Copies of this chain bind each other. A is one copy, B any other.
């Protein structure tokens, strides 16, 4: 299968596949006589692995680590994989907490504004942002 076909199969742009290869996420496939990349069906595992891991918040760098564990998984333990997974769960919670804090703060600021058609000369939101005055 050539790169265009693989791209269609997994819904990842051709350029992105080449980019993943350059970044060392996926192994370089064999080439045809004319230099075209020849992918096997197994190549799709790698791409769907990346898609899945990305979808739950892993960066490409982390995907590369996960993939390198995946290809040598006999030499790795479940504990190791689960650790990475639980670390990411914590990261996600930390990020959610940060967003929740921002939301709460902004909600309080926003609620103080009347939202009317009058001039914003004394708008509570602008005043809070400025720093002090009631």
Please give the residue numbers on chain A whose beta carbons come within 8 Å of chain B beta carbons, in ascending order: 44-45, 48-49, 52-53, 55-57, 66, 69-70, 73-82, 85-86, 88-89, 92-93, 95-96, 99-100, 102-103, 105-107, 109-110, 113-121, 123, 125-126, 128-131
- 5 interchain pairs, CB-CB under 8 A: A56-B106, A73-B120, A81-B113, A82-B113, A88-B106
A72, closest chain B residue (CB): B120
- Overall SS of chain A's interface: helix
Given known contacts A85-B110, A103-B92, A110-B86, is B130 in contact with A70 (CB within 8 Å)?
Answer: yes
Cβ B102 vs Cβ A55 within 8 A:
yes
Cβ B99 vs Cβ A99 within 8 A:
yes
